[in-house]
Amino acid sequence: MLWALKKCYYRVYQFVLKLATYVLDWTEPAVYRGPGSVKKLPVILKNRKIGNVLVVTDKTIVQLGLMGTLLAGLDEKGIRYHIFDAVEANPSVETIEEARRLYLEHGCGAFLAFGGGSPIDCAKVAAARISNPRKPVKKMRGILHVTHRPPTVIAVPTTAGTGSETTVAAVVKDTATHEKFAVMDPKLRPRYAILDPELTVGLPPHITAATGMDALIHAVESYIGKGNTKYTAECALKAVNITARWLVRAYEDGGDMEARGQMLIASHHAGNAFTRAYVGYIHAIAHNFGGLYNTPHGLANAIVMPYVLEYYGGKIYPRLAELADAAGVSRPGQDQTRKAEAFLAWLKELKKALGIPEHFDALEEKDIPLVVERTLREANPLYPVPVIMDKAGCEAVLRKIKG
C-alpha cells in the first residue's frame, strides 16, 4: 500500500514537473558544424568583444595537439587565453573550483570548453559558480538551483556522446563520497556549440564505442520515458537513426570524416532529446559505476542498458517497436512484439560489434546496497521512467549486470 502511494506521488511529481517545464527557457546553443568549423570560434569571440577566455580541457587533448588550429586563430585575432588542462574523467568539485579560481585570477570574459563531456561539464558548473559565488557546487545539485545566469560558455565537443554542448545538465563527482550527481538548469546551457568532426577523428575505437553508445542510450531512455514532447521524440528518433547507420563505421574507420560528423550530429540530437525528456535507470545505475570505480560513463551505460530494458518488459514494446523502425532493424509486416525484440537483439549485437563486455565484473557485492540506494535516490521521483523500480527490482537488475 505504501509503495503504491509512493509510486502515485512520483507520477504526480513528474507530471507537475513536465507542466512546469513549459515555462522554462529552452533556447538551444547556436550551432556551427562541419570540418574546420572550429576556425569560426575566434570570429565569434571577436564579434562578441570577448578578448580573454579560460580554455577548459584535459591533458590528453593538450598532448594530442588538438587545440592547435583554435589557439592559432585566437592568437591571430588577438584574443588572450589561459589554458586549464587538469580536468579528469568525471570532473570533481575541487577541479571545478580550480577552474573558477583561474577564470577570476586571469580576468576572463568567457569559458571555452574543449573536450569530451568532462571538460564541458566542468566549464558549465565553474561558470555557474562565477555568477553564484555564494552557492557551493553541492548546493546546485538537482534541478533549478542556479540562480544567476553564468557567463558565456562555448562548447567544442571532441567526443560524440554526451551532448553536453547542448544540455542543461552537468555531472559532478563528489570525491569524498565517490558519488556522481547532476546539476540541471537551463541557465547551464552553453551559448555556442561547435561540431567539428576533424577534432574527433583521433578518438581511439574504445572511446568512440563508449561515447557513441552514450548518445544512443540518451535517445533510447528519453524516448521510452514519459517526459517527451513532440520535439524531443523527433530528436531521439533522428539520433537512433543516425547512430544505427554510422556508429560502427566510425568505430571501424576512425578517419571516416562523414561518420565522425554524423555521430556528432546524433549526439547533439540525443542531447536535445534527453535534456528535456530526461534519462532513466540506465544512467542512474551507470553513474554509480563512474563514481565508485571510475568506469567511463558511456561504457557503464552500455553494459547496464539491456538489463534495465529487460526489467521494463512488455510495457515499453510499443516504443521499442518505433525505435526499431528508426534504426532500420525491423521488417515490414512484423508486429509490435517482433519489432521490439528485433531492437533488443540489435542492441546486443551492437554491443558485441563494439567490443563492449556483457557483464560488469568490477561491481563488488558489498557495494550493491549502496548502489541500490543511490540509484533510486537519483532516479525517483525525478526521472519519468516507464516502470518505477523498487529496491528489490534494482538489486535483481544489479545482480544480472554483475553476472
Ligand X SMILES: NC(=O)c1ccc[n+]([C@@H]2O[C@H](COP(=O)([O-])OP(=O)(O)OC[C@H]3O[C@@H](n4cnc5c(N)ncnc54)[C@H](O)[C@@H]3O)[C@@H](O)[C@H]2O)c1
Give me the residues that bind ligand X (CB under 6 A), please: 58, 60-61, 64, 66, 89-90, 115-118, 121, 158-159, 161-164, 167, 169-171, 199-200, 202-203, 207, 211, 214, 290, 297-298
Q: How far is the CB of 353 from Fe ion (least distance, A)?
A: 20
In the bound state with ligand X, the residue whose beta carbon lies nearer, of 313 and 355, is: 355
* Contact call for residues 116 and 263 (beta carbons, < 8 A): no
- Which residue spans within 62-109 are E strands per DSSP? 80-84
Residue 207 contacts which entry, Fe ion, ligand X, none (Cβ below 5-8 A, type-dependent)? ligand X
Distances 199 to 207, 213, 235, 269 between C-alpha atoms, Å: 14, 19, 24, 19
CB of 321 or CB of 350, closer to ligand X: 350
DSSP-based helix, strand, coil % in the chain, nearest 5 = 60, 10, 30
Number of C-beta neighbours around residue 381 at 10 A: 17
**Which CB, 73 or 290, lies closer to ligand X?**
290
Q: How far is the CB of 92 from ligand X (least distance, A)?
A: 10
One DSSP character per residue, 13-66 reads HHHHHHHHHTTS--PPPEEEESTTGGGHHHHHHHHTT--EEEEE-BHHHHHTTT
Q: Least distance to ligand X from the beta carbon of 339, Å?
A: 28
Question: What does 151 interact with, of Fe ion, ligand X, none (CB < 5 to 8 A by kind)?
Answer: none
> To the nearest whole angstrom, how small is the minimum distance from the Cβ of residue 243 to ligand X?
15
Q: Which of 57/301 has CB closer to Fe ion?
A: 301
Min dist CB 337 to ligand X, Å, is 31
Shortest distance (Å) from residue 97 CB to Fe ion: 24
> Omega of the bond prior to 381 within 30 degrees of 0, cis?
yes
Nearer Cβ to Fe ion, position 50 or 172? 172
Report which DSSP code applies to 148: S
The CB-of-121 to Fe ion minimum distance in angstroms stands at: 11
165 within 8 A of 157, measured Cβ to Cβ = yes
Residue 203 or 372: the one with the smaller Cβ distance to ligand X is 203
Cell numbers standing for residue 158: 571532441
Residue type, 257: M
Cell readout for 129 is 559558480
Q: Which residues bind Fe ion (CB under 5 A)?
A: 214
Q: Which residue is nearest to Fe ion (CB)?
A: 214
Task: Identify what 384 binds: Fe ion, ligand X, none; CB under 5 to 8 Å per kind.
Answer: none
Length of the chain: 403
* Chosen from Fe ion, ligand X, none, partner binding at 58 (C-beta under 5 to 8 Å by type): ligand X
Residue 115 touches which of Fe ion, ligand X, none (Cβ within 5-8 Å per kind): ligand X
